[in-house]
Amino acid sequence: MRRIRPEEVARARKDPRLLDAAEYRNENIGGSYRMSGDDWLRRGNCAEAEPDVMYPEPREPIDEALAMCASCPVRTPCLVRALEARDRHGVWGATAPRERRAMIEVWKDINPLAVGA
């Protein structure tokens, strides 16, 4: 796996999806924003999707998965889950694995109570 470039990390720091995920986590810090597998199956747009759609082979198109994520009601908590689990595979929260690798680097440095301060 290639190294993450500094410009990718800089871009991730400003990514609205990451900022939304951090805000969501902060708002729910004492709550139950982590969802079990059953909740994702019932609430996510990907509930009925074939695994190959959300976990395509490397260099396979991910357009179908991203389209599903675009209007998903659990897109932000899905991304929070992926970032907290440091999941670098598949499409989660409308992000591609290559995007999330840089987001994970930023995520681990974010103080959950400092975002937006």
Question: What is the total count of domains within the chain?
Answer: 1
Residue 88: inside a domain? yes
Sign of the torsion formed by the C-alpha atoms of 68, 70, 75 and 80? positive
Annotated binding site: 46, 69, 72, 78
Q: Is 55 inside a domain boundary?
A: yes
Establish if 34 belongs to a structural domain.
Answer: yes
Tokens of 8: 């990718």
Residue 17 lies in domain: 6-107
Q: Is residue 42 part of a domain?
A: yes
- The annotated binding site for [4Fe-4S] cluster is made up of 46, 69, 72, 78
Q: Please return the burial class of 14, using the count of CB atoms within 10 Å of its CB with bins 0-12, 13-18 and 19+.
A: exposed
Do 82 and 44 form a contact (C-beta atoms < 8 A)? no
5-44 pLDDT tens trace: 999 999 999 999 999 999 988 887 655 555 555 666 678 9
Residue 117 lies in a domain: no
116 within a domain of the structure (yes/no): no
Closest by CA to 105, choosing from 12, 25, 7, 20, is 12
- Residue 31 lies inside a defined structural domain of this protein: yes
Predicted confidence at residue 74, as pLDDT, reads 92
